Amino acid sequence: MTAVDFDVVVVGAGRAGTAAAYKLAAEDFDVALVERAKQPGMKNVTGGVLYGQILADLVPEFPEEAPLERHVVEHNIKLLHGDAEVSIGYRDMDLLEEPNYTLMLGKFDRWFVDRAVDEGAVFVPETTVRDVTQARDHAVVHTDRENGDLACHAVIGADGVNTTVGRATGIQRTMRNPDMALSVKKVIDVGRDTINERFNLDSDEGAAYIYTGFPEGAPTIGYFIYTYDEYISVGAVGGLEVLRWLGDEGYAESGTPLYSLLEEFVELDTVRPYVQGESLQEYQGILLPELSYESLPDRYDRRIALVGDAAGLVLNKGYTFRGLDYGIKSGLLAAESAIACDREGNWEAFGRRYDQWLENSYVLQDMKQHRHLPEFLKNERMYGAYPGIATETLRGMYSAGSDAQGLTWKQAYRAFRNSDAGFLDLLKDGYRGLRSL
Amino acid sequence: MGVQDSLETVQWDVSEAAHITVDNDYCVTCEDKPCLHLCPAECFDYQADQKGGIYFAYEPCVECGACMVFCGNDPEKGAVSWSKSEGGKGVEFDFG
């Protein structure tokens, strides 16, 4: 048997990789957590809410100890149509019972890695992994450091959407435009009191806003606003396939960059009040997987397991994004597979066992149940005709103008007839929506 | 605010070695040049005197990887060769 440097090498110190390292270290495994940035979080970007129950199961003291931003008590979906907006708001103080928070990864990831190191994990920063190879009875992680190759029983690839572990080993297939979305985000200093005023929040309560419908009819383009302690983040997300042709299809005169759409978005009358007086702290860009359950690539090969974004474990539900907790759960399952392999003295089943457990976990059950969602969210009518019908109907209900006459159902019917959507579309989309949401 | 102003808020420890390179031979036959509007850091610039019209700079890269997907992985394009920046180098976000 070849001598190994570590039982397990985890590549990437995001939440997924760190959860795996924490768990393994807590079980007295020799585990290395390899990270290419100088500090955890420096290469990481999120636009989302941490649904923290899975982390609370692992680190019960996390809500008290971790640097968290705001405890999310309110979610809003906003359909934009020209100067109008239709909003569905959900505010519930019972949400305070759940450990769901907005995060800044620069602070959060540093804390989480420190906790893993406290448990005994070896943190190896400033080290980029170039390849992973497997021999008969071990695996080797090749890094860009001199004499920096690490032999181990198993490798956990937690190195994000552009996973080197996945691509260099051929586990992950080549990603193409339809499977990927681009996001740009701005972090703005607004101040704690102003945030509480603007978003109608108390102390450390937080809100999340999701927008669609701008530019009109452009499918897969969405926007978000999240509240942090003293800052807010405002960002745009769009499928690469749509962004590639946006403009050529007639939405603008030429290809419109996502950052330009974001600039236009924050200037909308309905959005500006939330973000005005902006003092930009940081601009960021990131790619995110936008795969459906059926199109997910492979996740393992013998002693190698891919977790989190590297395995494409992200779901845009339309009304919220899931990914942070999927990453943590998948990292934990990979760790548990390693623990089982060690107990049996056979590491060959490491990847397969992880994948089976992942398949049965809430992560893939969730993605399976929502497997029609990615296709549903590519429907142009969701971004044009339907917000239009909704705003026109509501204008009829609330405007005293002369064009708003008759009973509400008649106005709704008229708005529908004036839209691009047909009856069959409505039935079809309604059915698809019910089936996938 | 233009994207160049936005990028002034970002920190880098720029590596001497380029982690992304562009083979301009491919740019010659690329008609729509999606790099000019898809890169969120404007690393690609149209310059008529460059071969294929594309000038590329890796220094302001925010390491999203989009160029690998929309160009490097596209069988009809393929100008971009992509790898992760060397250990400790590249973009350094504070507020991810």
pLDDT of residue B5: 95
- Look at residue B1 and tell me whether its pLDDT is greater than 80: no
Which residue is it, tokens 């002034």?
A: B8
Structure tokens at A198: 């603007």
- Look at residue A163 and tell me whether its pLDDT is greater than 90: yes
Quote the minimal CA–CA distance from A186 to chain B in Å. Answer: 8
Name, in order, each residue with C-beta under 8 angstroms of A75's C-beta and a sequence gap of 6 or more: A89, A90, A207, A208, A210, A319, A320
Average pLDDT on A357-383 reads: 93
- Look at residue B8 and tell me whether its pLDDT is greater than 90: yes
pLDDT of residue A64: 95
How remote is the C-alpha of A64 from its chain's centroid? 24
* A3 residue type, one letter: A
Which residue is it, tokens 């708001």?
A: A89
pLDDT of residue A247: 76
3-state SS class at A237: strand
**A242-263: buried (b, 16+ CB within 10 Å) or exposed (e) per residue?**
bbbebbeeebbeebbbbbbbbb
What is the percent of chain A where pLDDT is above 70?
97
Confidence class for position A421, pLDDT limits 50, 70, 90: confident
What is the percent of chain A where pLDDT is above 90?
79
Confidence class for position A252, pLDDT limits 50, 70, 90: low
Check CB contact of A65 with chain B, cutoff 8 Å: no
Element of type H or E holding A331: helix A324-344
User: A421 phi and psi, to 5 degrees?
Assistant: -85, 140
- Give which of A234, A204, A240 is closest to A221, Cα–Cα: A240
Decide: B67 and B80 in contact? Cβ < 8 Å: yes
Name, in order, each residue with C-beta under 8 angstroms of A279's C-beta and a sequence gap of 6 or more: A188, A189, A190
Of A109, A256, A282, the CB nearest to B37: A256
- Give which of A275, A276, A321, A269 is closest to A81, Cα–Cα: A269
DSSP-assigned states of every residue in A389-425: HHHHHHHHHH--STT--S-HHHHHHHHHHHSS--HHH
- Look at residue A395 and tell me whether its pLDDT is greater than 90: no
pLDDT of residue A61: 94
Q: Which parts of A181-271 fold into alpha helices (H)?
A: 192-198, 240-245, 258-266
- Look at residue A253 and tell me whether its pLDDT is greater than 60: no
pLDDT of residue A45: 95
Confidence class for position A428, pLDDT limits 50, 70, 90: confident
- Look at residue A406 and tell me whether its pLDDT is greater than 90: no
Which residue is it, tokens 């572990």?
A: A165
Whole-angstrom CA distances from A346 to A136, A309, A342, A357 are: 12, 27, 6, 17
- Look at residue A1 and tell me whether its pLDDT is greater than 70: no
pLDDT of residue A402: 60
- Look at residue A297 and tell me whether its pLDDT is greater than 70: yes
Structure tokens at A256: 């419109």
Q: Which residues of A touch B64 (CB under 8 A)?
A: 182, 285-287
pLDDT digits 0-9 by tens, A174-197: 999 999 999 999 999 999 999 999
The C-alpha angle A265, A266, A268, rounded to 5 degrees, equals 65
How many Cα atoms sit within 13 Å of A183 on the Cβ side?
24
Alpha-carbon span B14 to A248, nearest angstrom = 35
Q: Which parts of A120-191 fold into alpha helices (H)?
A: 164-168
Confidence class for position B3, pLDDT limits 50, 70, 90: very high
Q: Strands (DSSP E) along A259-411, which ranges?
A: 280-289, 300-301, 304-306, 315-316, 321-322
Check CB contact of B9 with chain A, cutoff 8 Å: yes
pLDDT of residue A254: 65
Residue numbers of A between 117 and 176 with CB closer than 8 Å to B? 125-128, 130, 143-145, 161-162, 164, 174-176
Structure tokens at A110: 């540093």
pLDDT of residue A24: 98
Average pLDDT on A122-136 reads: 97
- Give which of A245, A267, A266, A268 is closest to A256, Cα–Cα: A245
Cα dihedral value A22, A26, A29, A32, nearest 10: 30
pLDDT digits 0-9 by tens, A73-97: 999 999 999 989 999 999 999 999 9
Structure ipTM: 0.97
pLDDT of residue A397: 84
Confidence class for position A232, pLDDT limits 50, 70, 90: very high
User: A292 phi and psi, to 5 degrees?
Assistant: -95, 165
Mean pLDDT of chain A: 93
Which residue is it, tokens 């079809």?
A: A428
Element of type H or E holding A51: strand A49-51
pLDDT of residue A67: 97
Check CB contact of A42 with chain B, cutoff 8 Å: yes
Q: Which residues of B touch A109 (CB under 8 A)?
A: 96
Instruction: Establish, for the pair of chains A and B, how many residue pairs have beta carbons separated by less than 8 Å.
Output: 141
Alpha-carbon span A76 to A72, nearest angstrom = 11
**Cβ atoms within 10 A of the Cβ of A282, count?**
22
Give the nearest chain B residue to A237 (CA atoms). Answer: B40
Confidence class for position A296, pLDDT limits 50, 70, 90: very high
Q: Tell me the torsion sign for CA atoms A354, A289, A80, A265.
A: positive
Average pLDDT on A256-276 reads: 95
What letter does residue A165 receive in the DSSP assignment?
H
Confidence class for position A62, pLDDT limits 50, 70, 90: very high
Answer whether A248 sits within 8 Å of B69, measured CB to CB: no
How remote is the C-alpha of A85 from its chain's centroid? 25
Average pLDDT on A23-38 reads: 98
**A122-131, A373-382, A394-403, A422-431: least confident range:** A394-403
Paired residues of A305 in beta bridges: A156, A300
Check CB contact of B14 with chain A, cutoff 8 Å: no
